[in-house]
Structure 1
Amino acid sequence: MRNLRSSLAAVMGLGTLAGSVHAYAAERLVRTPEAFEAAVRASIPGDSVVLANGVWRNFEIMFTGEGTAAEPITLRAQTPGKVVISGKSNLRIAGRHLVVSGLTFKDGFSPSSEVIAFRKDNQALAFDSRVTETVIDGFNKPDRAAEDYWVGLYGQNNRFDHNHLQGKLNNGVTLAVVLSSVESQQNHHHIDHNYFGPRPPLGSNGGETIRVGTSQFSRTRSLTVVEDNYFEGCSGEVEIVSNKSGGNIYRRNVFVRSQGSLVLRHGDGNLVEDNVFLGGGLAHTGGVRVINAGQTVRNNYFHGLRGDGFTAALVMMNGVPNSPLNRYNQVLDARIEKNVFVDVKQVLFGAGADQERTLPPARSTLSGNVFLGAGDEAIFKAEAPIDGLAFVGNTVDGVAPPTDASGFEAKAIGRQTLPDGRVYPDAAARQALGLQAPVKLLAREETGVAWYPKGDQAVAFDSGRVLKIKPGQDQLSAAAVRAKAGDIIELAAGDYAEGRVVEVRQPLTFRAATGTQPVVAFDHATLFSLAGEGALKLQGLRLSGARAPDAVGNAVVRVSSSAPLSNYAVELLDTEVSHLGRGAFAVLRGEKGTFADHVTIRGSRFTDIGGVVLDLAGEAGGLGLYGAERVDITGSQFTRLGGPVLDLLRGGTDESTFGPRVWVKGSTFRDVAPGHPSMRLDGVQVVKLDGNLFERAAPARVTVHVGKPDLSEAGNTGAALEIVDQRK
């Protein structure tokens, strides 16, 4: 057998590695896609196919075979972390007892609907197979609206463990368990010890990190176990984990500064136990949202969560009578037991109650839970009757019990700070309350892989070198070519003229030297163009469009949707923009398919501008897409504008996002958008107007399509806010 294998390897041009696992097992080192395909065809149980170190570009990997439990067939990297799959590439696995390990997907995107699929096609699925110690980092389709899964689990008894996934920016779930065939139901998949790193807001529905099932198959049992995973900065939308099937277990997972919740969206009889939710005081950090029947939530720990509404620490929703599959079934027979809540903003009963969602939770019990706060915080809120809930043996300390509800005892509870920083009832209090010892906090280092850095790798403004430039022609564009991410380009006093577009493909700052206010004029339709990973900060400059051409769609800063896809940021600090008086000239224009993490204007002045200052309404339509998560305007002046200060659109009635959010404070609107609103805020979820002056300027118009947006105004001079309610 060995001699025959050696002969076959020689004929096919395959290297054979020493040190076989079994007497007749072969390890084939391959260096080309053709050699890989030949090696896979030749593999039998116990064999390994080894990808040589290097970059494998435009490589669609089809790994099929029939191993055994004792002798799986393995595909692995020669050295974990040194085999990079890039370009238009993906991995499909089909067969039985297959193992994949050590690959890195980076600098590309999948040409299909998944990066890693536990299937060859709809008929050929994977069973009893495993993907481990593999990385997917920023492997995004160029079009933000184009949907894919990074991981699609099909078949049965598969394991996805010790992997590292971060930086998904386009539409679609990071990891999906798919139940679309009988062979993929009651699957017993195991998802464990993975690191799910930062996923920034998507700006629409479809930004979940994990989804188990779909509405269509929500009455099917999946029997999937999701345990011992670490979620850090997973903030794609309100559902970090979206459960849409029955019989699943979510256990010992850790959620750190992740905006959203673990949501039992559909499906009955699921268990959520021993999980840890650490909000760190970040807005919109949530816990568990309960919908449907027979759900159990026990022994979980919630600390520093600042979410409310759908992302409160604990949410029990109202249901829809005779609910269709894609809406909300009534909460029935839920058991919320022995959970510890410390310093949380809200616990909400009957969430979403409206003319459609009229069925409050019923036949459900909250027992033995502990709520710790400071002072006498009012964290409990009910939007529907709570007489269908039984409260038994719950204890509060520093928290006001729910109004008109028995089953809560207020008393002092001894507290201790654990070595990992968690505040918890001390041993005596735990014994008196019948609580278990604190569940061990899963360490970040116990998840993912050891050879790839965890956490947000984004480069911050002003974190690099200072490059000093002098007045003259095309100085800014030349400096941008030399600059590296995070660099500061400092302008000396004087006049600058740009005959080129300044290309910004990484975070850059252009700032005035101390005590100066240099003037930058330009003669193109655009001064700054942001693309790829571009982000722009302007500080202390005077920008003039007096020499720019009279063209439709002009913009001082234009954001392109060209690849690679990335969220951007724009900050204008102590900056003056003027003489954009012709046509529809904008200061900032985001194209369709672009998304701003934040746009900040502080201490700046805008005068004689023909169009919109911030044109962020490119995402037309009713799909819930929008162009910026947060817009902050402070201490700024807007004078003689032909269009509104801000045009921001979020269409549709979806409730899966937090934004857009708009704060305007201490600013002046004078002679703005004659005959039109001073700001058009369509579908914006949070609007706060504080201490502004509106003089010969109409109010900001907020159009409401869904939900209960947070709209407030205080201390403004002149009419500041007009609300148009289009909710049915």
Structure 2
Amino acid sequence: MIAQSAARHYANFKGLPKGRSELEESSLMARSTTLAFSGLLLAAAPASALARDYLVHDQKEYRAAAGAVKAGDVIRLAEGEWKDFPILLEGQGTAKQPITLTVQTKGKVILTGASSLRMAGSHLLVSGLVFRDGSAPGAEVISFRRDPRSYARHSRLTEVVIDRYNKADRRTEDRWVSIYGSDNRVDHSWFAGKGNLGVTLAVIRPKGQPEANRHRIDHNYFGPRPPLGSNGGETIRLGTSDESLSDSANLVEANVFDRCDGEVEIVSVKSGANVVRSNLILESQGAIVLRHGNGNRVERNVFLGKAKPHTGGVRVINEGQIVRDNYMEGLAGTDFTSALAVMNGVPGSAINRYHAVSGAEIANNSMFEVARVTLGAGADAERTAAPTGSRLTNNLITGQDGKPFRVEADMVGVTFTDNVTDGEVPGAIPSGLRKTGIATKRAANGLLYPTDPALAAQGAPRDLRPVMVAEVGPAWYPKATGIAAFGSGRAVPVKAGGLEAAVAAARPGDTLKLAAGHYTAEAPLRISVPLTVSGPRDADIAFSAPTLFQLEEGAALRLEGLSITGDKAPRQSGNAVIRTSALSTVANYALEIDGTAFSRLDSAPAFDLIATTPGTFADRIAITKAAVNGLSGAVLAAAAETEGKGRYAAEHIAIADSRFEKIGSLAQILRAGTDESTFGPELILRGNTVVQSGPVMLGLSGVQSILIEGNTFRSSGRIAVANSVGTPETRIIDNHFIQTPEPTVTKLYPQGSPRVLVSGNSIGGDAS
């Protein structure tokens, strides 16, 4: 009976339930399914006189069992590591008797190396697999098809883990899960740490096959995905533009998205009639984006940004989209990652560009302490079609700065009714948006609601229940944690002559405390863990190799209070104090320099302080209270990504309160191409003094956010800013330019709407 009950539930999930009580129903359904599924594995053998239970110990035994498997049979992988194992599960089960692939013991069967899973047939059930310590041999780790003609239908993937199972080169694309066919389900699984190019989970709708898919993606844990630094970092994608004008009808429900920061689209909807419902989005940069396709619903989701930059809500494009009953709090995103972004479209748009918004219904959403609601987002010389026939009704908005609204296009085609805000009402919204004080209190569900009875019906419904992290993913696999922080490990004293050995023996989070004295590195110090190197200024490090610190896979480096000299480096072009790996690294790194002095780095041409290499990416590079005297190259050379695909070297760059004398340039930063799917690079340059640089002191191309504030530039070269597509922001304010040219700001492409503020700067004066 247990097996039959589970099978009946499993066969039923293809329909899309409706109504506000669905979260409670689906949670109960999921819990009962988990219990029933456990019973199903035990009951599968007696359910039919012909059903068999295979325990296999190697690939040969698996292939024999897989070749003989029939409806109701169960194959179990024995405990241990299965390396380089290409699994094919193919067969025809039934709703009452699926063909099952599982494990002897959950959490103790690990697929490593070049392993993968393909499924083809009907009523297949896979559970308990863990993919770790390797990468797929092809373009997919798990695929719901054997080949382009053989798909899986009515099949289920549950309690499966893919943990940092990445290609060695971050620029090589693959997908972790590709769902083909129809009526399939992925639930209670764990996906985290994808660092290379490609979608984490995608519904694939091949061109020429426009029929609905009706897949269900529910109760999964989508854990941290670091910024990719290019397009192709979505966590979920439903379809592609080719078939986006037909309906896919997928349900994405009750998942947790935890720190999913890959790119601007967390969930990218590129087909019609999908429902994205009752998910929890935690501190994730980006938004749920209705990119292509019509008639989608985004409802009853909870977004908690905690003021993290670029945390967004929902972006609306195309026809007949419904965004209702969502709760958003502390979202700091603007522009395309606003809490709500209603875009402008392209007149007569090609299928892969931006169809105009029409017939949108945006109702009963709460947006508390959000940075921005953007209407007519992306309006420029190409995107001139404003929203039409759309309604914003009964929404509640409070802003972080008292001005939460940005209107970039004509709103005559949008009707506003009974919306309330505590911020400034734009003149472009003449009615239907009322300003009032909004006091709030947290309810038992942990969410904020107005205390004024007159606002009781405003915004998100009171019966929302955010899905809990403990309710998603397999219970037997722990949720993801962060990398070791600087200073979280041991304090290791180091004397002169012992630096190389100390670096080689370092553990994650260690701090190497150098004693006063002279240190010489004869070969690059290769860093592969988060490491701090600290010392007094009379801890002097010289190096005779082309590089002092080489940042390898897994590295992060902080330098504190040291003195580093370059006069012993080779007399050749291209030396660097800090250089990223010669090979692509999947993990993002961090680099911090605080209170450290650098000198005599001009003994050879093109001698850089920091040199980035293609295929490496920094979450942050921060230089504070540093002193550089004599440098023939760049303090930061971050222009190695030249392919024009929107890639760049670092997400956040900050240089503050430092002094630079006789340098080639302060920074060269490049983001080439016209892609709009990323957040950075972001540069903050504040409180610095630069005396005597080369002809281009600062070269910035395609940088998305620039703040140059309160600096003094003497006898230096020009600042050259070239803005790219999207809405890049450049602010050059309150600086002193002494015998230094005024900054130049140009625009690379006709598309895009750069925002430029050059104000309060002084030009000319004594250079002494």
Are the equivalent residues in 2 in contact too, given 1:156–1:183 (CA < 8 A)?
no
Q: In 2 relative to 1, CA 431–586 (structure 1 residues): closer, same or farther, beyond 3 Å? A: closer
Deviation at 1:409, TM superposition (A): 3.1
1:624 matched residue in structure 2: 646
Q: Name the SS of the counterpart of 1:105 in structure 2.
A: strand
SS of 1:701's partner is strand
**Which range moves more in the overlay, 288-297 or 21-30?**
21-30
The residue aligned with 1:521 is 542
**Matching residue's letter, 1:73:** I
Structure 2 partner of 1:680 = 699
Map 1:676-715; keep pairs closer than 5 Å.
Answer: 676-715=695-734
1:671 equivalent in alignment to 2:684: no
Tell me the equivalent position of 1:13: none
Aligned to 1:76: 102
Equivalent residue letter for 1:571: E
* Distance (Å, rounded) in 2 between the aligned partners of 1:47 and 1:590: 54
Distance 1:531 1:96 in 2: 45
Cα distance per residue 1:125-155 (max 9 Å; x no partner): 1111111111111111111111111110100
**What is the CA-CA distance between 1:344 and the residue it aligns to?**
1.0
Residue in structure 1 matched with residue 611 of structure 2 by the alignment: 589
Shift of 1:543: 1.0
- Partner Cα separation in structure 2 for residue 145 and residue 338 of structure 1: 41
Q: Cα gap change, 1:677/1:36 in structure 2, threshold over 3 Å: closer, same or farther? A: same
Partner of 1:6: none
Within the candidate set 554, 566, 571, 1:545 is matched to 566
Contact 1:135–1:164 under 8 Å retained in 2: yes
Number of the residue aligned with 1:5: none
How far apart, CA to CA, are the structure 2 residues paired with 1:416 and 1:367? 22
Distance 2:511 2:411 in 1: 57
Q: TM-score, normalised by structure 1?
A: 0.94
Q: Which amino acid counterpart does residue 707 of structure 2 have in structure 1? A: K
Partner residue in 1 for 2:19? none
Name the counterpart of 1:61.
Answer: 87
Whether contact under 8 Å (1:430, 1:436) holds in the other structure is no
Q: Look up the match of 1:193.
A: 219
Partner of 2:328, secondary structure, is strand
Query: Residues 370-403 of structure 1: CA distance to partner in whole angstroms, max 9, x if unpaired?
Result: 22357x8221121111010011122234564664
1:401–1:410 contact (8 Å) kept in structure 2:
no
Range moving further from structure 2, 79-88 or 221-230: 79-88
2:197 alignment partner AA: N
Task: Among all aligned residue pairs of Structure 1 and Structure 2, give the percentage whose two residues are the same amino acid.
Answer: 45
SS state of the match for residue 613, structure 1?
strand
Helix, strand or coil for the counterpart of 1:524?
coil
Check if 1:509 corresponds to 2:528.
Answer: no
Q: Do the aligned partners of residues 701 and 210 (structure 1) sit closer, same or farther apart at CA in structure 2, a change above 3 Å counting?
A: same
1:338 corresponds to which of 349, 364, 369: 364
Corresponding residue for residue 255 of structure 2: 229
Tell me the amino acid that sits aligned with residue 560 of structure 2.
Q
Deviations 1:155-188 (A, max 9, x none): 0000001111111111111111111056673010
Provide, for residues 303-329 of structure 1, a one-character-per-residue CA deviation record: whole Å limited to 9, x for no partner: 111111111111111111110011100
Q: Secondary structure at the match of 1:594?
A: coil
Tell me the residue number matched to 2:668. 647
Counterparts of 1:120-135 in structure 2, within 5 Å, are 120-135=146-161
Secondary structure of 1:489's aligned partner: strand
In structure 2, distance between residues paired with 1:563 and 1:463: 27
Contact 2:131 2:161 in 1 (8 A): yes
Structure 1 residue 104 displacement after superposition: 1.1
Task: Give 3-state SS (helix, strand or coil) of 2:470's partner.
Answer: helix
**Cα distance, 1:419 vs structure 2:** 3.7
Given that 2:323 and 2:361 are in contact with CA atoms closer than 8 Å, whether structure 1 keeps it comes out as yes
1:215 maps to 2:241: yes
* Residues 1:469 and 1:433: Cα distance change in structure 2 (over 3 Å): closer
- Aligned-partner SS, 2:63: helix
Look up the match of 1:453.
478
Paired residue secondary structure (2:242): helix
User: Which residues of 2 match residues 547-626 of structure 1 at below 5 A?
Assistant: 547-560=568-581, 562=583, 565-581=586-602, 582-626=604-648
Partners in 1 of 2:650 and 2:47 — Cα distance? 56
Q: Name the structure 2 match of 1:383.
A: 408
What secondary structure is seen at the aligned counterpart in 2 of 1:478? helix
- For residues 124-163 of structure 1, the aligned pairs below 5 Å read 124-163=150-189
Q: Aligned pairs, how many?
A: 705
Larger mean CA deviation between 558-567 and 254-263 belongs to 558-567
Amino acid at match of 1:678: M
CA gap 1:427/1:254 in 2 versus in 1, 3 angstroms: farther
CA–CA distance in 2 between the matches of 1:66 and 1:241? 32
Which residue number in structure 2 is paired with residue 12 of structure 1?
Answer: none
Are residues 566 and 379 of structure 1, via their aligned partners in 2, closer, same or farther at CA, if it must alter by over 3 Å?
Answer: same
Query: Within the alignment, does 1:106 sit opposite 2:132 as a pair?
Result: yes
8 Å CA contact 2:210–2:243 kept in 1: the answer is no
Deviation digits for residues 641-691 of structure 1, max 9, x if unmatched? 1x3121111001111111000001111111111xx2111111101111111
CA distance in 2, matches of 1:606, 1:418: 54
- Classify the secondary structure of the residue corresponding to 1:152: strand
1:535-593 per-residue CA deviation (whole Å, 9 max, x = no partner) reads 11111111111111122322111211547621111111111122221121111112110
In 1, the alpha carbon distance for the partners of 2:427 and 2:110 equals 55
What SS does the aligned partner of 2:707 have? Answer: strand
Deviations for 1:91-111, whole angstroms, at most 9, x for unmatched residues? 111111111111111111111
Q: Distance in 1 between matches of 2:88 and 2:585?
A: 26
Show the counterpart of 2:8: none
Stretches of structure 2 that go unaligned for 5 or more consecutive residues are 1-40, 751-768
Question: Could you report, residue by residue, the CA deviation over 1:203-248 in whole angstroms, capped at 9, with x for unpaired residues?
Answer: 1111111110111111121011101011111111111111110010
Matches within 5 A, 1:169-188: 169-180=195-206, 185-188=211-214
Q: 1:724 aligns with which of 746, 750, 754?
A: 746
1:38-58: CA deviations, max 9, x gaps?
111111111111111111111
**Which one of 502, 506, 514 corresponds to residue 491 of structure 1?**
514
Instruction: State the alpha-carbon separation in 1 of the partners of residues 95 and 333 from structure 2.
Output: 45
Does structure 1 conserve the Cα–Cα contact (< 8 Å) formed by 2:378 and 2:727? no
User: Residue 526 and residue 82 in structure 1: after superposition, are their counterparts in 2 closer, same or farther (change >3 A)?
Assistant: same
> Contact between 1:597 and 1:629, CA under 8 Å: does it hold in 2?
yes
Note if contact 1:155-1:183 (Cα within 8 Å) is conserved in structure 2. Answer: no
User: Is structure 2 residue 282 aligned with structure 1 residue 256?
Assistant: yes
| Partner Cα separation in structure 2 for residue 116 and residue 300 of structure 1 | 32
Q: Is the 8 A contact 2:335 2:727 kept in 1?
A: no
Which position in structure 2 is the counterpart of 1:662?
Answer: 683
Query: In the TM superposition, what is the alpha-carbon distance from 1:405 to its structure 2 partner?
Result: 2.1
What per-residue deviation string (whole Å, max 9, x for no partner) do you get for residues 273-303 of structure 1?
A: 1011111111111111100000011111111
**What is the rounded CA distance, in whole Å, between the counterparts of 1:716 and 1:561 in structure 2?**
37
The answer as to whether partners of 2:218 and 2:253 remain within 8 angstroms in 1 is yes
**Structure-to-structure mapping, 1:20-59, within 5 angstroms:** 20-24=45-49, 25-59=51-85
- CA separation of 1:672 and 1:182: change in aligned 2, threshold 3 A: same
TM-score, structure 2 as length reference: 0.89
Give the match for residue 7 of structure 1. none
Shift of the alpha carbon at 1:487? 0.7
Q: Distance in 2 between matches of 1:660 and 1:123?
A: 42
Matches of 2:715 and 2:224, distance apart in 1:
44
Amino acid at match of 1:372: T
Letter in 2 for 1:455: A
Counterpart selection for 1:439 from 427, 451, 464: 464
Alignment of 1:268-307 (within 5 A): 268-307=294-333
Structure 1 pair 516–625 and aligned structure 2 pair: CA distance change class (3 A): closer
CA contact 1:424–1:438 (8 Å) conserved in 2: no
**Contact 2:493 / 2:513 at 8 angstroms: preserved in 1?**
yes
Is the 8 Å Cα contact of residues 492 and 516 (structure 1) preserved in structure 2? Answer: no
Residues 283-292 or 77-86, more deviating: 77-86
Query: Does the CA contact (< 8 Å) of 2:327 and 2:460 recur in 1?
Result: no
Aligned equivalents of 1:149, 1:185: Cα separation in 2: 22
Choose 701-710 or 391-400, whichever is displaced more: 391-400
Counterpart of 1:506 in structure 2: which amino acid? V
8 Å CA contact 2:372–2:399 kept in 1: the answer is no
More moved, 244-253 vs 135-144: 135-144
Aligned position for 1:10: none
